[in-house]
Structure 1
Amino acid sequence: MYKQIAANNPIMIHLKTYSSIYFFIITLFMMGVIFGAIVVNSLSFTQKEDLDFYLSQFFGQMADGEVAASEDLFRQSFFHNLKYIGLLWVLGISIIGLPLIFIFLFMKGMVIGFSIGFLVDQMEWHGFLLSFVSVLPQNLIIIPVFIVIAVLAVGITMQLIRKLFTQRTTNIQILPLFSKYILAFVIAIIVISVAAGIEAYLSPSLMKSVLTVN
Structure 2
Amino acid sequence: MRSYMKEHMPLYVYVSVLFITGVVFGVVIVQALTLEQKQELSRHLGNFFQMVDIGLEWDKQHSFLQSFLLNFKWLALICLLGLSVIGLPFILFMDFLKGVLIGFTVGFMVGEYAWKGMLFALASVVPQNLLLIPALIICSVTSIAFGLHLLKSRFLRQHLSNSLSFSKFIGTTFSLAVLLIVVSLYEALLSPLIMQWVTPILVS
Question: TM class, shorter-chain normalised?
Answer: over 0.9
Residue of structure 2 aligned with 1:132, choices 119, 122, 131: 122
Residue of structure 2 aligned with 1:173, choices 148, 151, 161: 161
Secondary structure of the structure 2 residue equivalent to 1:172: coil
Query: How far did 1:67 drift?
Result: 4.3
Provide the residue aligned with 1:59 in structure 2: 49
User: Is contact 1:88-1:153 (8 Å) kept?
Assistant: yes
User: Partners of 2:104 and 2:134 in 1: how far apart?
Assistant: 19
Provide the residue aligned with 1:5 in structure 2: none
Unaligned runs of 5+ in 1: 1-9
2:29 corresponds to 1:39: yes
User: Partners of 1:60 and 1:70 in 2: how far apart?
Assistant: 20
2:74 corresponds to 1:88: no
2:142 corresponds to 1:149: no
User: Is contact 1:137-1:199 (8 Å) kept?
Assistant: no
Residue of structure 2 aligned with 1:26, choices 6, 16, 19: 16
Secondary structure of the structure 2 residue equivalent to 1:65: coil
TM-score by length of 2: 0.96
Query: How far did 1:59 drift?
Result: 1.0
Secondary structure of the structure 2 residue equivalent to 1:66: coil
Identity, % of aligned positions = 34
Give the ranges of 4+ consecutive aligned residues of structure 1 lying more than 4 Å apart after TM superposition. none
Secondary structure of the structure 2 residue equivalent to 1:161: helix
Query: How far did 1:91 drift?
Result: 0.5
User: Partners of 1:59 and 1:14 in 2: how far apart?
Assistant: 45
Unaligned runs of 5+ in 2: none
Aligned residues: 202
Secondary structure of the structure 1 residue equivalent to 2:56: coil
2:76 corresponds to 1:76: no
TM-score by length of 1: 0.92
User: Partners of 1:128 and 1:209 in 2: how far apart?
Assistant: 14
Q: What are the Cα deviations for residues 49-94 of structure 1, in whole angstroms up to 9, with x where unaligned?
A: 0000000111111111224312211111100000000000010010
Residue of structure 1 aligned with 2:182, choices 183, 194, 202: 194
Secondary structure of the structure 2 residue equivalent to 1:96: coil
2:193 corresponds to 1:205: yes
User: Is contact 2:116-2:201 (8 Å) kept?
Assistant: no
Secondary structure of the structure 2 residue equivalent to 1:156: helix
User: Partners of 2:59 and 2:168 in 1: how far apart?
Assistant: 36
Secondary structure of the structure 2 residue equivalent to 1:178: helix
2:96 corresponds to 1:112: no
Provide the residue aligned with 1:49 in structure 2: 39
User: Partners of 1:145 and 1:106 in 2: how far apart?
Assistant: 15
User: Is contact 1:61-1:67 (8 Å) kept?
Assistant: no
User: Partners of 2:164 and 2:102 in 1: how far apart?
Assistant: 35
User: Partners of 1:43 and 1:190 in 2: how far apart?
Assistant: 38
Secondary structure of the structure 1 residue equivalent to 2:42: helix
CA RMSD of aligned residues (A): 1.0
Query: How far did 1:100 drift?
Result: 0.6
